Amino acid sequence: MSQASTWGVPRNASEQDASEEQFAVRADESLDALLSSHKGNSAPSYAQAGTQWIDDTGTPWIVKMYDGADWIVTGWLNATTNQFTPAGAALKGQIAGLTISNNSTDATNDIDIAAGECASEATIPLLMSYAGSTGIQLDVAYGTGSGGRFDSAISNGAWHVFIISNGTTVGRGLSKSLNPTGEPNYPAGYSHYRRIGSVIRASSALIGFTQVGDDFLLNVPVLDANAVSGPGTAAVLLALTVPFGIKVIANVTVSYVDTSPVGGTAVLVTSPDQTNTAPDFASRLGNVWGSAAAGDGSNDLQVRTNTSQQIRYRFSQSTADHFLYVLTNGWTDTRGR
């Protein structure tokens, strides 16, 4: 530790008889602390507002400044690579590039990430630049070859894709958790992370998709409600093939068929975040409806999900001969903006 055990030179009454040597030792200790920015694994007890301290507990070193009440991180210093990364080098939510895609060699388990950069999700974000890579393996634990799985085991469901950094090195990986740092295969020291998108694994394989900006389009739409019998006028929550744990804008095609129409029927599809409202054909309160003669209706909709992948639907008729179809085409994900 290059901090002074007692700050300053002898000056109080009990030290009036200090020798020249004692005076010099105290002065040298204080000057050495200044020269080294009070480097050590704990904060200097004598800090004043404006004191800079290099916390060398781990790698890279953390450069901090005292504001009179708290230590504020101003950057990270890697003494091995001679690289300083200033804090706040990125705008919160910033993201560019980093497009995700299915890997052409092993689309079942692997993804590719294009080059780009993003801000970490920290209070003071770090700009993480990533050169891009191919063949990131969900079926192999992170740290082994091209393995990218932070979690202990692979399973079906939504997997979130992350860019990670320890302040110097930038990596990538996947987790079912929105905070991957607690997963068993997550690397130590990588306190910065950012979700750049999500992929879905079903029937032991990653679902095929394409991404343009914030829009994710399934290669083959998924029929999440297939001839579901009308439940009457009660509201029903329906889980879609979209990421779990986050709210997205689901892009769906909703259709219904009435096998014995007796009057106008409306279907209202809403977000669970909205008021549970009853549809009404007469006032056209519904986003899918049909006349007594037609007996069916269809519409393309964008509906916000809840964090459980769900949307809500209701019929205006209570008869049981209504059948609902919901085709999920993809989703829009702002990816932490």
Q: Report domain extents, the chain.
A: 13-86, 95-210, 214-332
**pLDDT per residue as tens digits for the range 81-136:** 777 777 656 778 999 999 999 999 999 999 999 999 999 998 778 889 999 999 99
pLDDT, average across residues 149-172:
96
| Range name among 26-30, 59-63, 148-152, 286-290 with the lowest pLDDT average | 26-30
Give the HSE-up count for residue 118: Cα atoms under 13 Å, Cβ half-sphere.
Answer: 31
Look up residue 215 and give its amino acid. Answer: D
Q: Is the pLDDT of residue 317 over 90?
A: no
Instruction: Please report which confidence band the pLDDT of residue 292 belongs to, taking 50, 70 and 90 as the band edges.
Output: confident
How far lies 222's CA from each of 59, 75, 202, 214, 325, in Å?
Answer: 46, 46, 11, 20, 11
Strand, coil or helix: 227: strand
Name, in order, each residue with C-beta under 8 angstroms of 171's C-beta and a sequence gap of 6 or more: 163, 164, 165, 187, 190
Fold of 214-332: Jelly Rolls (2.60.120)
Given this model, what pLDDT does residue 290 score? 82
Q: How does DSSP classify residue 21?
A: H
Type of residue numbered 53: W
* pLDDT value of residue 19: 66
Q: What is the token pair recorded at 71?
A: 């230590």
pLDDT value at residue 92? 82
DSSP-assigned letters across all residues of 70-139? SEEEEEEEETTTTEEEETT-S-TT-EEE--EEE-SS-TTTEEEE-SEEEE-SSSS--EEEE--EEEEEEE
Q: Give the predicted TM-score (pTM) of the model.
A: 0.75
Q: Render pLDDT for 205-232 as a digit per residue (tens, 0 to 9).
A: 999 999 999 999 999 999 999 977 665 6
Predicted confidence at residue 229, as pLDDT, reads 67
Model confidence at 25: pLDDT above 80: no
The pLDDT assigned to 240 comes to 98
- For 246-280, the pLDDT digits (tens) are 999 999 999 988 887 777 888 999 999 999 999 98
Q: What is the pLDDT of residue 231?
A: 58
